[in-house]
Amino acid sequence: MSEVAILGAGAWGIALAIQAARAGRRVELWARDPVRAAELRSRREGLRLPGCRLPDPVAVLDVLPARADIVLLAVPVQFIRTVLTRLPPAAGTLVACCKGMEAGTLRFPLEVVAECQPRAAAAVLSGPNFAHEIARGLPAAAVVAASDATLREQVSAALSTPSFRLYGSADPLGAQIGGAAKNVIAIAAGVVSGAQLGENARAALVTRGLAELARLAQALGARAETVMGLSCLGDLLLTCTGERSRNFSLGAALGRGERLAEILAGRTTVAEGVATAPALLARAAGTDLPICRAVAQLLASELTVEGAVAALLGRPRRDE
């Protein structure tokens, strides 16, 4: 039995495997595709993280591990249910390391966990973390969110190193809201960049995006203070400021006039904000979410970039 199992061998899963090994844990990394698993066993390096080698003690599997002390769910949200239904009931403490909402059910990751693995202890790992920087051991911080303080400490102790500082949070819902909503705001920030609307416009959009995130958190029952933490404000700042962000880069391509279908067809990674934008609107119906609404309409080809800008700037004047 491993101490830490990571389910999902994309860039984030590999980075987490490297971090867990760096923290001195026995690690198993599961890849859904047996061909990819064999390649990782041979190369010890992921194609999306060149130069970041898997430590030799990390075992790469093509079958799901039966049991681990901590199981990190590093698959995209839209695939988390499939993986959870294949896990045995006592697989270990489950930690959702994905961000977004399940299309159709409108559930956050821990809600899917509770439905598929109702007896499992569960937590969220979230924050402003690019996989390539975590893999390289650059300084970073994140949040482990769970209602149980002992559980938070268990996960934090298993993954913490001097370069990766983990804070606890008793608001897992707030952490999940931040992780989901920031992807939608990042698409909008990317559109501003790709359309060359200027840095003033992007700063204004990110600031108003934070206000929108706060309204969303309040509407869904999260704690107000969580919005100003790493899992919300911190993640928002990181995701809205560069092409390394999958959601920002997708928005930038939209802003340059590229079609969504063509953008997605040319990618092997998942931009969770695409599915999350309409899901957030449905989950928080009645909440004032103009940026999320504009992004959802843009993705659905119901608005042009110019129309989205006009809709946001044409809203009635009011106090901040």
Catalytically annotated residues: 182
Q: To which H or E segment does residue 230 belong?
A: none
Give the whole-angstrom CA distance, residue 65 versus residue 222. Answer: 33
3-state secondary structure of 253: helix
CB atoms within 10 A of CB 278: 20
Q: To which H or E segment does residue 212 belong?
A: helix 199-220
Give the whole-angstrom CA distance, residue 248 versus residue 228. Answer: 21
Whether 294 and 312 have beta carbons less than 8 Å apart is answered as: yes
**Closest Cα to residue 127, out of 207, 31, 19?**
19
**Closest Cα to residue 77, out of 101, 113, 106?**
101
Give the whole-angstrom CA distance, residue 312 versus residue 292. Answer: 11
